[in-house]
Structure 1
Amino acid sequence: MRTFSKISAAAVAGAMAFTLSACGGDSSADSSGKSGGKVKIMVGGLDKVIYLPAMLTQKLGYFKAEGVDVQLLTEPAGVQATTSLVSGDVQGVVGFYDHTLDLQVKGKQVESVVQFAQAPGEVEVVSNKASGDLTSPADFKGKKLGVTGLGSSTDFLTKYLAVKNAVKVSEFTPVAVGAGQTFISALKQGSIQGGMTTDPTVAQILEQKLGKVLVDMRTPEGSKAALGGLYPSSSLYMNTDWVNGHKETVQKLANAFVKTLDWMSTHSPEEIAAKMPADYQQGGKELYAKAIKDTLPMFTKDGVMPADGPRTVNDVLKAFNPNLKNARIDLAKTYTTEFVKKAAG
């Protein structure tokens, strides 16, 4: 999920060290994506339902069927995933589309090549203890609110909801608590009163009766209500120069992902859950299937960017982010439909 903080040398070094470790020091891997090499894709949390198409595509065998060797890596939040792409350590990221806008302002040309989702898939939850005086984003003032990481999309979406409801970003405290068990523990311990997270974490919080939903952005309708329109989020984004130099490989990736999105649209949550790794099913198979069911409406069926989506993202970011407020962003350069349209055809 998505960086708006300055990308430091230390962060880049950390991302590179992680990736080399995740690759098992495989120096023979050809990062060009040519035949015989690997295309490395960093995911901002492989076990998150919002990024489910990445692992599902691998499990369905669609990468292999296209003849492309994909290595999926994972980071706890998209902010680190973006750093890995900027450092040149991976060829693609499965993360939020909004990074493409932020990076353009910073002089980096990155584009979404497959748009997985048309809504954020994010949920603002509140602990039961704090639910009495935290009933809407208008009550964020003075609160400690959990986000996956500082500079992540959960961070900036929280800021947008605050600003939209007349709360200054300086009037509440975002706390980096990750997702999954670390988020749940923070909610239990009271170190946060609420926070933004995704499934399957949301399903576990509700199942354990630790809190309730404050703002639900898992559906197109929820996105429109909270953000003013469809909000393209989960995507495969890549450096534009790399895309232009490796169109055959990018087309194979698009073919594989579009097949997966189509497969998801014709199969039940239970069938989807059965394809995923068993250790993703925290809380059991039934709860995991419910988490998928609740999040499925966010996904596109063809990987195509929703027509007004980029404008909504632009409006949201400019509402609170000083780096983007007065910047001129060429939205046409932040995504391409070239590959997904060929895949669908």
Structure 2
Amino acid sequence: MRKSRAAVWVAVMLLCSIVLGGCGTGGQAAKIELGEVTRSVFYAPQYVALEKGFFKDNGLDVELKTTSGGDKTMTALLSGSIDIALVGAETSIYVYQQGSDDPVLNFAGLTQTDGTFLVSRQDVQNFNWDSLKQSVFLGQRKGGMPQMAGEFTLKKHGIDPHQDLNLIQNVDFANIAAAFISGTGDYVQLFEPQASIIEKEGKGHVIASFGTESGKLPYTVYMSKKSYIDGHKEQVQSFTNAISKAQQWVNEHSPEETAKVIAPYFKDTDQAILARAIKRYKEQGTYAQTPEIDEKAWNNLLDVMDAAGELKERVPVSKLVEPSFARQAAGSGN
């Protein structure tokens, strides 16, 4: 009888593991639809989390899609076609300014500086910001963080971007690097790896960093609707834990090692270029060390938006940042 009962118990457990993927602590991975505003080496820790299985280790099945632009990303989030968005924190402020019964909350930071660089067509020695005056400057989209951080930096150096420059802002984000290569502009504001690619091809020269100049910002963050966060606290915590672990991994490994891991997401980019871009970002502290969003950095974001004329009122960090997930992740050693 004992042998019979034992055999039945083993059979039940085996069936359980097959049908449910494991009873008790196992179970099916929770599905999360994640939208990123663009595909960029700027988001290296995110691709590390995906490629190294950190999301899976935390019981998540994360499907990544590129939603191409802040407005499209926010539309996807508000409509429910994605659960979590990786996009500039300013977009949550725009939604708040329009009024919403279900506000978008920022719960984890990925990058903490602007990710663009000033690229000159000529090899400028002893660069001075005044040399930009009266030049043709190929900028970014109005109201987006790259353009606002760029304008913030220019104004800090006594340059009115709309009076002292011949500013071009009608080129689509995806085509800015190509426009510069084809001959448009004396200077251009570019993310990596485009800046390094242009340098390698001898088509331009990186002469300054807007990330260094504009200071710490909650530049690119993970956000979701309050209703989603309230209904999926365990998943949001698991997601943040995975990002925190990836941030630590990038911090502890060389640019070359990181480039190798994220290479599948940049199949048309040489790994040496990826490593060069990652090195540049690490040296200026672009990748956040933890997912926590700092109040001082948030206030700097408000200053940047205010200077650009895009802020209706100063929104305190407590209104749009949910800090508990990042605090727990940062303190857990994940």
Q: Same fold (TM over 0.5)?
A: yes
Alignment CA distance shift 1:166-1:184 (3 Å): closer
CA–CA distance in structure 2, aligned partners of residues 39 and 141 of structure 1 = 48
**Aligned residue type for 1:128:** Q
Percent identity, aligned pairs only?
22
Contact 1:85 1:91 (8 Å CA) reproduced: yes
Matched, 1:240 2:232: no
Note if contact 1:155-1:174 (Cα within 8 Å) is conserved in structure 2.
no
What residue identity is the alignment partner of 2:112? Answer: Q
Query: What root-mean-square deviation, in Å, do the aligned CA atoms of Structure 1 and Structure 2 show?
Result: 2.6
For 2:197, the equivalent position in structure 1 comes to 204
Aligned to 2:302: 314
Aligned mates of 1:127, 1:107 — CA distance in 2: 43
Partner Cα separation in structure 2 for residue 140 and residue 96 of structure 1: 29
1:337 equivalenced with 2:323 (yes/no)? yes
- Measured after TM superposition, the shift of residue 257 of structure 1 is 0.6
* Other-structure match for 2:66: 74
- The residue correspondences of 1:255-270 to structure 2 (distance < 5 A) are 255-270=241-256
Report the Cα offset of residue 120 of structure 1.
1.3
Summarize the Cα distance change of 1:158–1:78 in structure 2 as closer, same or farther, 3 Å threshold: same
Q: In the TM superposition, what is the alpha-carbon distance from 1:150 to its structure 2 partner?
A: 4.6
Are the structure 2 counterparts of residues 136 and 75 from structure 1 closer, same or farther at C-alpha, using a change threshold of 3 Å? farther
Query: What do residues 104-143 of structure 1 show as CA deviations (whole Å, max 9, x unaligned)?
Result: 21224222211112211221222229x69x9527735563
- 2:108 maps to 1:114: yes
Match of 2:21 in 1: none
Runs of 4+ in 1 over 6 A off after TM superposition: none
Range with bigger deviation, 37-46 or 157-166: 157-166
For 1:244, give the aligned amino acid. Answer: D
Which residue of structure 1 lines up, in the alignment, with residue 208 of structure 2? 215
1:41 aligned partner: 34
**Partner-residue secondary structure (3-state), 2:46:** helix
- State which of 153, 156, 159 in structure 1 corresponds to 2:151: 159
Shift of 1:198: 1.2
Deviates more, 1:79-88 or 1:244-253: 79-88
TM-score (ref. length: structure 1): 0.77
Q: Is the 8 A contact 1:125 1:215 kept in 2?
A: yes
How far off its partner does 1:168 sit? 4.9
Shift of the 196–82 alpha-carbon distance from structure 1 to 2, 3 Å rule, reads: farther
* Structure 2 residue identity aligned to 1:185: A
Counterpart residue number, 1:288: 274
Q: Is the 8 Å Cα contact of residues 162 and 169 (structure 1) preserved in structure 2?
A: no
**Residues 169 and 238 (structure 1 numbering): CA distance in 2 closer, same or farther, change over 3 Å?**
farther
Number of residue-to-residue matches in the alignment: 297
Question: Are 1:195 and 2:183 counterparts?
Answer: no
Query: CA separation in 2, counterparts of 1:56 and 1:93?
Result: 17
What amino acid sits opposite 1:247 in the alignment?
Answer: K
- 3-state DSSP of counterpart to 2:291: coil
Check conservation: 1:113, 1:236, Cα contact below 8 A.
yes
Cα displacement string for residues 180-234 of structure 1 (whole angstroms, at most 9, x for unaligned residues): xx3332112222332222111111111112122243034xxx1xxx22x422212
Query: Mean alpha-carbon deviation: is it higher for 256-265 or for 73-82?
Result: 73-82
Match of 1:184 in 2: 177
After TM superposition, give the deviation of residue 336 of structure 1 in Å. Answer: 2.3
Report how far residue 272 of structure 1 moved.
Answer: 0.9
In structure 2, the gaps of 5 or more residues are 1-26
Q: What pairs up with 1:92-107 in 2 under 5 angstroms?
A: 92-107=84-99
| Greater mean deviation of Cα atoms: 158-167 or 329-338 | 158-167
1:88 is aligned, of 75, 80, 91, to 80
**CA pair 319-89 structure 1, distance change in 2 beyond 3 A:** same
1:173 correspondence with 2:168: yes
Aligned to 2:14: none
| C-alpha deviation, 1:83, in angstroms | 2.5
Report deviation, 1:155: 2.5
Is the 1:125–1:196 Cα contact (8 Å) retained in structure 2? Answer: yes
